[in-house]
Structure 1
Amino acid sequence: MQIFGVDIGGSGIKGAPVDLEKGDLAQERCKVLTPHPATPDGVADGVKQVVDHFGWTGPVGLTFPGVVTGGATVRTAANVDKSWIDTDARTLFGGRLGGLPVTVVNDADAAGVAEMQFGAGRGRSGTVILLTFGTGIGSALFVDGALVPNTELGHLELGGHDAEKRASSKAKEDGELTWEHWARRVQKYLAHVEMLFSPEAFIIGGGVSRKADKFLHFIEGIKAEIVPAQLQNNAGIVGAAMRAAQTQP
């Protein structure tokens, strides 16, 4: 069975049909740049461009980089335009895609669901936290495999700042930090999250998961196991498709 997944990020919108039995992309993904400002209409146009690239006419699952309640309503918009707040994203995207069935889920939650089913979280019990490091820091919290949605742990305060302002991939790029310097910031962030939740494992996702060998060995003093995401930057696409499949009649 295949369902289309789209991952909306602060810098890019990427999507592809997903093979739900394998938990992998069925075709090479299509990516377009996220418009700036990332308004609802602009992002919806980008999503349509990605979906139309494949001529897709079935259900579509989409991630969103913020809190999504009731499978539709956007409540936060840290890394996209503030006009997203209170937008009915399901209605917006469904209309732009010509009435296709649409499901919307928080981006890190989608990545976490995919990793727990097909990746680094498979078979893990207890408390597991996936963290996606990108334009911001997304989080997905699982307790014995069950998702606690919309945690947004990237906005915990760290050194007087939102953690994602100090320890995201964007913060590394903007500050031109070495891998070691950035890893020390990530270490402080993980220590703070560990103090609050005492997880058995952290799964490190987002684009940096492809480069785990450059920074994970610098992180010390964390009791939880730290592992890179296995689906890497495709986890959001896969998880969006999985959630769409779960909501189909």
Structure 2
Amino acid sequence: MRHVIALDVGGTGMKAALAGPDGELLHQARRATGRERGPEAVVAGILDFAAELRAYGADRFGEPAVAAGVAVPGIVDAEQGVAVYAANLGWRDVPLRALLGDRLGSVPVALGHDVRTGGLAEGRIGAGRGADRFLFVPLGTGIAGAIGIDGRVESGAHGFAGEIGHVVVRPGGIPCPCGQRGCLERYA
């Protein structure tokens, strides 16, 4: 059966699924992100998890996944396939799409920002469906929002649109991994 790999990497955990041609859920799995082991271990964990999902799908459905979609937190250059920066995971400039492509073989891989990807899904098939404008704000290890406008999700001029977790709410407050002090994510 034709299927795709969907992998959502968070600051604390990873959620994954294999989805069929009409979006039906065929398999789901979870595991810890392992950020306490450092950014290299997080990347290795993502690659291992994706490879396990590929193998499970090939065994269970008789063929490998036809594509993979991976959503990660922080600043993402989706066009280049690079996880530019994630304060919660400690990584910088990780060519994640290329690494996943190498690990998964000839499977095309899409890389996106976790909240903007979730917002896009809400706008297309969820609560935002049919709305010309909406705001999607999930709360997790990090805090971000997706701004839906006319069927798309705004990324901003430099990829920072919706990164509300790094708005300083207490000047001079608790240090944040992003380099600032007093960010909303440190208090929420």
TM-score (norm 1): 0.59
Alignment of 1:68-107 (within 5 A): 68-69=76-77, 70-82=79-91, 85-107=92-114
RMSD, aligned CA: 2.1
Higher relative contact order (CA 8 A, sep 6+): 1
Tell me the secondary structure at the aligned position of residue 29 of structure 1: strand
Asked if the contact 1:74/1:86 (under 8 Å) is kept, the reply is: yes
Asked if the contact 1:154/1:163 (under 8 Å) is kept, the reply is: yes
Q: Aligned AA for 1:155?
A: H
- In structure 1, C-alpha distance between the alignment counterparts of 2:66 and 2:80, rounded to whole Å: 18
- In structure 2, C-alpha distance between the alignment counterparts of 1:38 and 1:87, rounded to whole Å: 10
Quick one: structure 1 residues 147 and 141, their matched pair in 2 at CA, closer, same or farther if it must change by over 3 Å?
same
Asked if the contact 2:167/2:183 (under 8 Å) is kept, the reply is: yes
- Name the residue aligned to 2:29: 30
- In structure 2, C-alpha distance between the alignment counterparts of 1:71 and 1:112, rounded to whole Å: 21
Deviation sequence 1:211-246 (CA, Å, 0-9, x none)? xxxxxxxxxxxxxxxxxxxxxxxxxxxxxxxxxxxx
Q: Aligned AA for 2:85?
A: T
Identity %: 29
Runs of 4+ in 1 over 3 A off after TM superposition: none
TM-score (norm 2): 0.76
- Name the residue aligned to 1:62: 70
Aligned length: 162
Tell me the secondary structure at the aligned position of residue 94 of structure 2: coil
Quick one: structure 1 residues 5 and 131, their matched pair in 2 at CA, closer, same or farther if it must change by over 3 Å?
same
Asked if the contact 1:11/1:135 (under 8 Å) is kept, the reply is: yes
Quick one: structure 1 residues 34 and 103, their matched pair in 2 at CA, closer, same or farther if it must change by over 3 Å?
same
- Name the residue aligned to 2:187: 166
Deviation sequence 1:175-208 (CA, Å, 0-9, x none)? xxxxxxxxxxxxxxxxxxxxxxxxxxxxxxxxxx
Alignment of 1:1-249 (within 5 A): 2-19=3-20, 21=22, 23=23, 25-35=24-34, 36-39=37-40, 40-55=43-58, 56-69=64-77, 70-82=79-91, 85-126=92-133, 128-149=134-155, 150=159, 151=161, 152-160=163-171, 161-167=182-188
Deviation sequence 1:60-103 (CA, Å, 0-9, x none)? 01111122112402221111132xx1121110111111232111
**Unaligned regions of 5+ residues in structure 1, if any?**
168-249
Tell me the secondary structure at the aligned position of residue 158 of structure 1: coil
- In structure 1, C-alpha distance between the alignment counterparts of 2:33 and 2:74, rounded to whole Å: 15
**Unaligned regions of 5+ residues in structure 2, if any?**
59-63, 172-181
Q: Aligned AA for 2:50?
A: V
Which is richer in helix? 1
- In structure 2, C-alpha distance between the alignment counterparts of 1:20 and 1:109, rounded to whole Å: 22
Q: Aligned AA for 1:42?
A: G
